[in-house]
Amino acid sequence: MAERLVVIGGDAGGMAAASGARRARPDLEIVVFEKGVRTSYAACGIPFHVGGEVPDVESLVARSPEAFRSRQDIDVRLRHEAVAIDLDARTVEARDLDGETNVVLDFDQLMYGAGARPVRPDWPGVDLPHVHMAHTLADASGLATAAAGIAGRPVAVVGGGYIGLEMAEAFLARGARVTVFDIAPQLLRNLDADMAALVAAEAERLGVELLLEHHISAIEADRVVTEKGEFPADLVVLGMGVTPNGELGAAAGLATGVRGALVVDDHQQAAPGVYAAGDCCESVQRVTGRPTWIALGTVANKQARVAGANLGGGDATFPGVLGTAITKLCDTEVARTGLTMAEAADAGIDAVATVAEASTRAHYFPGNGPITVKLVHERGTRRLLGGQIVGAPGSGKRIDTVATALWAGLAVDDLVNLDLAYAPPFSPVWDPINTAARRAD
């Protein structure tokens, strides 16, 4: 009888690992339980479908269940929700959501790729038909339909993180009057306050109303209710982040850590023969060496590559994360990597910040725009700890230079003489990264 791998979850973590295991082990029987109706889709593309930049929602699907079945001989069972794991008996029990029956499968190896779920508060009115999530392709289609007739009407976006900003942009593009609510005193809590303030200023310039430090208590048919007043809203988008789906693993006896995410070693192993990857599990922050939880598709796919190799008999390791991320609000690009000043303080690191304002191109070249670069380094050792960038088009991907320097363990002074490309359409003679490092020096 063939050895069996059971996979829980049919998105990035689960399916990338299953594909890797299949490449290494053509003889392996692979069964995937996925409670939804899709596999391997790009949830990060949903705001751009809603805004009209990506017209076809089906283009967000990287690989269909039929492709996994026919090309890789992976038995994908949609609408099957894993409900119990028995590590001693080596079984997984799943509920067939359509047939309303349960199936129990033995496994030799288990891949836990249950991902994360969106935060959904229990406010009165949260289940009203004009309240939408932005997590699945069904959510995307519903939002796109609602957005088609929203011009001139009020839209409330709840959450000032990446998804919230991207949804705000989507509805600005549709001509709506957009209000962003958040309980925090700033947008983008993974930036330092001074850099987040640049984004907030741009949002307000674009006509977005920012209601920060507002605690929503209820949603009604045409308004959002907070402790500071009532605000009109014909449509409400909940973009309050996600939380890891670690409960099923925890109930089976797997260890959990940050935010309830599963604890894994550097091989992505949670227990003997049990692996996990993606938004359901922890990572290690490379700068601090501490456990962290970062829900990003980049992290999920890299962890899944390691898990898949090891499920196939390999010896791969995952080296950790920096938390490198990028987004935009219309023409303002926002990026970060490593530690902010607040995160450095939380880790007990004596940090110094340097902020430099520069230009994306030569000052005389058409299309030149402002860019602000913030570098964070350790006092004394001058070890680079992190970076943040806010600026005009052409700004954001410069964060990759900082991320590479962090990965290599460079000091902030090493960035002064980095041999970065120059031509007037792309950069000043001194790239903004060089400029910020010079100022730190």
Q: Which residues are catalytic?
A: 44
* Amino acid at the residue 270: A
Amino acid at 437: A
**Cβ–Cβ under 8 Å, residues 180 and 168:** yes
Q: Which residue has the tokens 């997590």?
A: 135
Quick one: CA torsion of 401, 404, 406, 410, rounded to 10 degrees? -90
Query: Residue 155 in contact with residue 248, Cβ under 8 Å?
Result: no
Residues 82, 117, 140, 283, CA torsion sign: negative
Number of Cβ within a 10 Å radius of residue 223: 18
Q: Dihedrals φ, ψ of 13, to 5°?
A: -65, -50
Q: Report yes or no: 373 and 435 within 8 Å, Cβ to Cβ.
A: yes
Tell me the pairing of strands 370-378 and 291-292. Answer: unpaired
